[in-house]
Amino acid sequence: MAKIPLVFKVNGEQQEILVQPYQTLLSALRDELRLTGTKEGCSNGNCGACTVIVNGRTADSCLVLAAEANGAEVTTVEGLSQNGQLHPVQKAFMKYGALQCGFCTPGFLLSAKYLLDSNPNPTEHEIRLAIAGNLCRCTGYDKIVRAIQAVAQAEV
C-alpha cells in the first residue's frame, strides 16, 4: 500500500510526514516523529497510556488512524511544558508522588490537563471519572487524585 501524506500540528509545530493508511496516530507519533513519551499499553483503547489531546479533546491515540489527524492539532506529554516551565499538573505529580513506574503518567497528565481546562474546580468524583479511562497499576490512584486536587486548589 502506498503511504499517504499527513500534515498536522504536534505540540504547536507543523509536521509533514508520510504514514501507512493503517497506521495509528500513536504509531505516527512514536515511530515516525519519535515522540516516545506517549505510551502503548494495550493497543485497543482500554488502558489510556496512549492518551493525547486532539483538537482540544483527549483521545486514545491507539484508536485514531494517523490519517484522521490530518489538519489536527495534537498535544502530547512532550508539549506540556512551555518555555522551559513545567505545566502545573507535571509539578503536582512530582510533588505529591503521583507516579511510581511512570509508564501510565503521560496519559494521566493529559487527562488531568483536559479535565482542569474544562473544569477548574472538580470534585473528587469528577476527577476519578475523568481519569477512569487511564489504568495505573502502581499507585492505587490515591496520590494521582490528590495531585489533581492540588492543582485545582493552586497548591503547587
Partner 1 sequence: MPKYKYLGKATQKVDALERVTGKAAFGADIHLPGMLHGKVLRSPHPHAIIKAIDYGMALKLEGVKAVVTSKDLPSLEDARASFGGEVSIDQEHLRKLFLAHDKVLFEGHPIAAVAATSLEIAEQALELIKVEYEVLPPVEDAFKAMQPNAPLLHPYLYPKTLGQKPKNPGNVATIMFHERGDAEKGFAEADVVVEESFETAMVHQVYIEPQVDAAQVEEDGKVTLWTANQGIFNVQSQLSSILNIPLGSINVVPMEIGGGFGGKIITYVESLTIMLSQKAGRPVKMVMSREEVFKATGPGSPGYFTIKVGAKKNGKITAAYIKMIHDCGAFPGGPTPMASLVSFGPYNIPSIKVDGYDVVTNKPRVQAYRAPGGTPVNFSVESTMNVLADKLGVDPLKFRMQNYAKEGDYMVNDQRYNRIGVKAVLDRVVSSSHWNTPWEGPNRGRGMALGFWIGAAGTSSALVLINSDGSATGVSGQVDLTGTRTSTQQIIAEELQMPLEKVNVKVGDTDSTPYTMGSFGSRTTYSFGTAVYRASRDALAQMKARAATQLKVNPEDVEYAEGRFWSKKDPEKAVSWNEVARSTITRGEGVVTGRGTVTGLGHAPEFTAQIADVEVDPETGKVYVKRFTAIQDAGLAINPMQVEGQIQGGVTQGIGWGMSEYYYYDKGKLRNASFLDYRMPTSLDVPMIDIEIVEVPASEGPYGVRGVGEVSIVPPPAAIAEAIYRATGVRMNKLPMTPEAVLWAIKTKDKEREPVAANGDS
Sheet hosting strand 4-10, strand order edge to edge: 13-19, 4-10, 73-75, 51-54, 57-60
CA distance 68 to 112: 24
CA angle (85, 126, 124) in 5-degree steps: 85
Q: Which of 9, 15, 36, 41 binds ligand FES (CB under 6 A)?
A: 41
Provide CB contacts within 8 A for 134, sequence distance 6+.
47, 48, 49, 51, 104, 107, 108, 111
Residues 10-69 that bind partner 1 (CB under 8 A): 20, 22, 30, 34-44, 46-47, 49
Per DSSP, which regions of 23-116 are E strands?
Answer: 51-54, 57-60, 73-75
Q: Rule CB under 6 A: say whether 149 interacts with ligand FES.
A: no
Q: Rule CB under 6 A: say whether 49 interacts with ligand FES.
A: yes
Q: Which of 10, 25, 35, 47 binds ligand FES (CB under 6 A)?
A: 47
Structural contact between residues 45 and 65, judged by C-beta atoms closer than 8 angstroms = no
Q: Rule CB under 6 A: say whether 115 interacts with ligand FES.
A: no
Query: Quick one: 82 or 147, whose CB is closer to ligand FES?
Result: 147
Candidates 11-19, 28-36, 71-79, 137-145; binding stretch for ligand FES (CB under 6 A): 137-145
Q: Choose the contact partner of 4 out of ligand FES, partner 1, none; CB within 5 to 8 A by kind.
A: none
Q: Which of 28, 30, 53, 60 binds ligand FES (CB under 6 A)?
A: 60
CA distance 7 to 103: 28
Candidates 69-77, 81-89, 120-128, 130-138; binding stretch for ligand FES (CB under 6 A): 130-138
* Contact footprint for ligand FES (CB under 6 A): 40-43, 45-50, 60, 62, 99-104, 136-139
